[in-house]
Structure 1
């Protein structure tokens, strides 16, 4: 209880490296009713303000975990152009075979992206979650990534107005003092037109929302609105250099919040 209280309500506006960059593993729904192939798009973007789209290279890895088993999905990926509010950039569309009941953890390990304005590389190792038939199986388990955020709440049906708690890990160990950038997907991708919707909220007063993990890697955030929320633990991974330049190896997780009706 003590370690949770330490992290609770820590929502600060601290300067954050690679502010606003988020790798999306976007699906229209997180709760899947019928078996089939679920379309997914991988986009490197600024979804809070419908901002700049970064060109995404073919990921190093793209796979799913279901009932503890890993299935490679990289062969499903096709290059597409995605248009945001400012520009177009290279993205990918793929599919997730959701057949049996249970959780499906989507994992993307991207190629490090060079951010010229900051003269650094960024690698956002990203997880998102689907579920079929409301049967929980995998969501609470670490995947074994170099760095990741492990959810302590079911990430695909968070209630708006409640809280979300995660634990930041690097090589399986808690990361203390990690800055976790928090972003609302105010603009969502259109799965048919390869473009974004208009943002449904405006800019936040005070700038980027950032939480800080406690000594055991935990953080808690009060989720104020339904929709998709992204959490990026900046520089939480063990790798710090790529091709002779600084590397920010980030752990990213996406959750879905719902209004109680």
Structure 2
């Protein structure tokens, strides 16, 4: 069991959720489910979007890397990607559909390393290195193991079957070392991609007042969030990566992780 460190009072207050001003950008690796019953190719959509408020869709360039880890073995999935247009309520944007070959029991860790995206309104580049998780056969194998990315969030709870009302804890790592004081935006996938139409479903809720929900990592890079609702939750550690510049402009190299929460019957 990993024990979280005792925080100084000021830092402990910083780890509580606080509002941020702007809506959150999130790269989605979306699958309809996280727990796979039968072997086969699982469809996945890569979309750069604002899913909490069902907002603007950003154009996603073809990723630099798209792969999976299963039982410690890496499989390149770039050749499975096909360009599509994903349509939100106000616009459409370039996205991708692909597939994940799920065969043996165990975890399948999906990883996307995108090209940096230029956000004109902020005059910066954004690169969201993203992880999500599938499992077959309820056999845990890989979910808790760092991938070795420039920046990533390592889960301390099994990320594909979090219970609603429980907590999720992650650790922010850059070049394998904990990142203290990282700002983590927290996003609920209130609207989900429709796999057939490549459009947004109707949102099931709206964001709370005050803007994006934010947590701050502690001295050892840990943060904890109480999960209030079933569904997909995303966490983005903003600017936590080692690269800070791209093509002469500021780069926010973010670590993103998606988890799935479930209600008890």
Structure-1-length-normalised TM-score: 0.97
CA contact (8 A) 1:125 1:251 kept: yes
Could you tell me which of 53, 60, 64 is aligned with 2:57? 53
Could you tell me which of 4, 16, 27 is aligned with 1:23? 27
Distance 1:74 1:2, change over 3 A: closer
Deviation at 1:62, TM superposition (A): 0.1
Distance 1:35 1:8, change over 3 A: farther
Residue of structure 2 in register with 1:88 after alignment: 92
1:4-43 to 2 correspondence within 5 Å?
6=12, 10-15=16-21, 19-43=23-47
For the residues of structure 2 that align with 1:130 and 1:8, how far apart are their CA atoms? 32
Could you tell me which of 234, 240, 246 is aligned with 1:242? 246
For the residues of structure 2 that align with 1:255 and 1:55, how far apart are their CA atoms? 23
CA contact (8 A) 1:7 1:220 kept: no
Deviation at 1:203, TM superposition (A): 2.6
Structure-2-length-normalised TM-score: 0.95
For the residues of structure 1 that align with 2:117 and 2:162, how far apart are their CA atoms? 31
Could you tell me which of 149, 154, 162 is aligned with 1:158? 162
Which structure 1 segments of 5+ residues have no match?
none
CA contact (8 A) 1:4 1:220 kept: no
Deviation digits for residues 55-88 of structure 1 (CA, Å, limit 9, x no counterpart): 0000000000000000000000000000011100
Secondary structure of the equivalent of 1:198? coil
For the residues of structure 2 that align with 1:176 and 1:26, how far apart are their CA atoms? 29
For the residues of structure 2 that align with 1:35 and 1:95, how far apart are their CA atoms? 12
Could you tell me which of 97, 100, 124 is aligned with 2:128? 124
Secondary structure of the equivalent of 2:18? coil
Secondary structure of the equivalent of 1:39? strand
Secondary structure of the equivalent of 2:79? helix
Runs of 4+ in 1 over 4 A off after TM superposition: 4-9
Deviates more, 1:231-240 or 1:7-16: 7-16
For the residues of structure 2 that align with 1:28 and 1:148, how far apart are their CA atoms? 23
CA contact (8 A) 1:140 1:150 kept: yes
For the residues of structure 1 that align with 2:119 and 2:205, how far apart are their CA atoms? 27
Secondary structure of the equivalent of 1:144? coil
Secondary structure of the equivalent of 1:196? coil
1:1-261 to 2 correspondence within 5 Å?
1-3=3-5, 6=12, 10-15=16-21, 19-261=23-265
- How many pairs align? 259
Secondary structure of the equivalent of 1:81? strand
CA contact (8 A) 1:7 1:213 kept: no
Distance 1:105 1:185, change over 3 A: same
For the residues of structure 1 that align with 2:127 and 2:4, how far apart are their CA atoms? 32
CA contact (8 A) 1:7 1:219 kept: no
